[in-house]
Amino acid sequence: MTQRLVKTRFAPSPTGTLHLGGARTALFNWLFARGANGKFVLRIEDTDRERSTEESVNEILESLEWLGLDFDEGPHFQSRRTEIYAAEVEKLLNEKKAYRCYCTKEELDAKRQAMQKAGKKPMYDRTCRDSGPNLGNEDTSSPHVIRFKTPIEGVTSFEDSLRGTVEIPNEELDDLIIRRTDGNVTYNLVVVVDDAEMGITHVIRGDDHLANTPKQVNLYKGLGYEAPKFTHVSLILGKDKKRLSKRHGAASVVDYREMGYLPEAMINMLARLGWGHGDKEVFTKQELVKLFTLDKITMSHAVFDHDKLDWLNAQHMKMLSDADLAERSLPFLHKKHPDARKDELAKLI
């Protein structure tokens, strides 16, 4: 097999602020691509039109720029790619790999409750899979969703660079909805279509997506694409071992910029959240590009320590020349002392 050009992507949903977990995902993808002389793609996953905002898109772009995580392709916007998704859904329907499901919400609720009562995992019972309108007479006017035919027997497996081969019995996987009644396609479908179409070779993302991966692997097969290699990175926790959030201080990347942290320190800190290289703590970006490998990512949860960020910031400040430090400090000083001058500040430093 010929080695494909390494291509990674950062695929944020623009529904809020870019938090540290997202920034770390972006960094790992960027480092891996740069270290392999590959390409890094930015894809804005804005299919949820109600929750996606332009403000959030701008914040993502600003944050990446501040951190110096440049992309070679994009930003692609999923909201502008609906025709591509529609064609793929059509293809699956034509090949009988997907079907229209006319079960009403009430029917589905009743089925779910019955399964729960019987102590079974609630799943769609596949009533519409091989019945009625799906046997020739396609009824496209009645309200319906489109479901993907997940294999009924056997196992679905995929390679995770940290976990090795992950296997899931197919009986645990549902016939997932790929298009809703309102015509909107769903996350699992679009992410597969995009990653395949954009030639993504390595997907590095949070382990909150681990349950989605087998569903996506089946979609890759159904659509006739090769699945990428996966790496699922553990969550970032606060010192109290709870999921990192605003309670632990700033949560967004721009907050740290506003507080005056150096992007170099932030990059160093993010890299050390779940990745390491021996006992080394202080890394420049160039060193990270050289040293970063996926197999050194830890499976255990990373803990964000604010004191460590302060310490790293001090280390990176020491690496700057006086003139550079003066230049970078000046905007902050100007907020209180509009007359402060760079040459004087440099002397003082």
Name the residues annotated as catalytic: 246
Can residue 233 be called a binding residue for ligand GLU (CB under 6 A)? no
Can residue 46 be called a binding residue for ligand GLU (CB under 6 A)? no
* Exposure b/e, 311-349, CB count within 10 A at least 16 = b: ebbebbbeebeeeebbeebeeeeeeeeeebeeeebbeee
How far is it, in rounded angstroms, from Cα 214 to Cα 230? 11
Can residue 11 be called a binding residue for ligand GLU (CB under 6 A)? yes
* Smallest distance, ligand GLU to C-beta of residue 208, A: 7
* Smallest distance, ligand GLU to C-beta of residue 10, A: 8
Which parts of 121-245 are beta strand (E)?
Answer: 145-148, 155-160, 164-169, 177-179, 202-206, 229-233, 236-237
* Smallest distance, ligand GLU to C-beta of residue 109, A: 27
Q: Return the closest-CA partner of residue 19 out of 244, 267, 320.
A: 244
Sheet with 145-148: strands ordered across? 98-101, 145-148, 177-179
- Closest to ligand GLU by CB, 12 vs 222, is 12
Q: Which one among 23, 40, 41, 45 touches ligand GLU, defined by CB under 6 A?
A: 45
Can residue 149 be called a binding residue for ligand GLU (CB under 6 A)? no
Q: What share of the chain is helix, strand, coil (3-state, %, to 5)?
A: 45, 15, 40
Can residue 263 be called a binding residue for ligand GLU (CB under 6 A)? no
- Closest to ligand GLU by CB, 52 vs 134, is 52
Q: Return the closest-CA partner of residue 184 out of 75, 78, 104.
A: 78
Can residue 191 be called a binding residue for ligand GLU (CB under 6 A)? yes
Q: What is the DSSP string of 233-278?
A: EPPEE-TTSSBP-GGGS--BHHHHHHHT--HHHHHHHHHHSSB-BT
How far is it, in rounded angstroms, from Cα 306 to Cα 313? 11
Can residue 91 be called a binding residue for ligand GLU (CB under 6 A)? no
- Closest to ligand GLU by CB, 45 vs 59, is 45
* Smallest distance, ligand GLU to C-beta of residue 245, A: 16
Q: Return the closest-CA partner of residue 275 out of 257, 251, 267.
A: 267
Q: What are phi and psi of 217, to 5 degrees?
A: -60, -40
Can residue 161 be called a binding residue for ligand GLU (CB under 6 A)? no
Can residue 228 be called a binding residue for ligand GLU (CB under 6 A)? no
* Smallest distance, ligand GLU to C-beta of residue 215, A: 11
* Smallest distance, ligand GLU to C-beta of residue 219, A: 12
Can residue 205 be called a binding residue for ligand GLU (CB under 6 A)? yes
Can residue 21 be called a binding residue for ligand GLU (CB under 6 A)? no
- Closest to ligand GLU by CB, 205 vs 215, is 205
**How many Å is the maximal CA-CA distance in the chain?**
82
- Closest to ligand GLU by CB, 8 vs 313, is 8
Number of residues that bind ligand GLU (CB under 6 A): 7
- Closest to ligand GLU by CB, 12 vs 274, is 12
Sites of contact with ligand GLU (CB under 6 A): 11-13, 45, 191, 205, 209
